[in-house]
Amino acid sequence: MLYAGSRSLHELFTHLVARRFYGDAHLIDAEITQYVSNLLVEFAHVKNLYKIRNAKGKPLEDVGEMLVESNPLLAARSFDREREVRKHIGDYTLFLTGLFPEYVASLARRRPGLRIDAFIDYVKAGKESYRIVSYFDQFEYKREAPLFRRLSENFELCVYGLNLVKRDLEEMRDARYQQMRSVLE
């Protein structure tokens, strides 16, 4: 069953996130709800999950590699680069822990060989990254800084709300499948 009255993916995500964040997670913050809804739309395009690249142009898939890339003492070219990568780490970890927690749990055994991500706590990395982004509170970043502070403070609630959104999406998919199956029988 498709979302009744839906004209766009954004409307669907906005509805589901608001319902779960306001209702079940008791996270009543319109700005966070809008931000997370926009994040879901952005990451519906898989290329956006891997938009952070290292100096050689290689897309970074591991949070550990992203953390190195964000560090101004290691790979980051500037503080703006640190902010950009840290924001992405927050977004990436929120998205994966919220919608794909089973993937995050399987990282240690997912690929052969040593993976830095097997030792990274995604929730801790996401909270810390949003907190660091909130410290960029001058000039063009001044207006956004409080949002990232609240995202850091409420990271676990956002993950919980997204876990419920995932369940809603799975139920919608199952309902749509059952509807199509009944038409075909």
State which amino acid sits at residue 37. S
- How confident is the model over 113-156, as pLDDT tens digits? 556 676 789 999 999 999 999 999 999 999 999 999 999 999 99
Does residue 3 come out as left (phi exceeding 0), alpha (psi in the -120 to 50 range) or beta? Answer: beta
Round to whole Å and give the CA distance between 62 and 59: 9
What are the backbone dihedrals phi and psi of residue 154, each rounded to the nearest 5 degrees, phi first? -110, 20
- Read off the pLDDT of residues 7-59 as tens digits, 9 standing for 90 and up: 589 999 999 999 999 999 999 999 999 999 999 999 999 999 999 999 899 99
At 99, list the tokens: 């919608």
Mean pLDDT of the chain: 89
Amino acid symbol at 128: E
Please give the Cα distance from 173 to 170 (Å, whole number): 5
Q: Please, which residues bridge with residue 59 across strands?
A: 53
Which has the higher per-residue pLDDT, 161 or 175? 161
Closest CA to 103 of 117, 89, 86: 117
DSSP state of 120: -
3-state helix, strand, coil in the chain (%, to 5): 70, 0, 30
- Angle, vertex CA 83, rays to CA 80 and CA 89, nearest 5: 145
Residue 114 · residue 82 · CB < 8 Å: no
From CA 177, how far away is CA 169, in angstroms rounded? 12
Bigger pLDDT: 77 vs 130: 130
CA distance 126 to 107: 16
Mean per-residue pLDDT for 170-182? 74
| % of residues, the chain, pLDDT over 70 | 85
